Amino acid sequence: MILTALNQLVSRAIASLRVEEPPAPKPRGKRRRTLQLDTLIAEAWAQGIQVYERIIEFVRDRSGVGCSRRAIARWKRENGLLYG
């Protein structure tokens, strides 16, 4: 009888639990920085800043840290502005 009452209590507790989907993971680490760089480089490009050194300065002014020429070349390649 005690086991039956306990079983009913546990069953009610389990039934009252809500199952929720976990939130989508936020980009972290290098991926978050890459997304930030892509946004800043695109913004610089849209403003007519197309020289590597000026883009690096733009990124440094906006984020506090510069970026590499390689990051700029990757962005240009992904956006069809650089071939190779």
Identify the CA nearest to 72 among candidates 56, 48, 60.
56
**Is residue 81 over pLDDT 70?**
yes
- Residue 66 has a pLDDT of 96
pTM for the whole structure = 0.67
Per-residue pLDDT of 39-50, as tens digits, reads 999 999 999 999
- Residue 84 has a pLDDT of 57
pLDDT (mean) for 16-34 = 81
- Residue 54 has a pLDDT of 98
Residues 6+ apart with CB under 8 A from 42: 75, 79
How far is 30 from 39, CA to CA, in rounded Å? 14
- Residue 19 has a pLDDT of 75
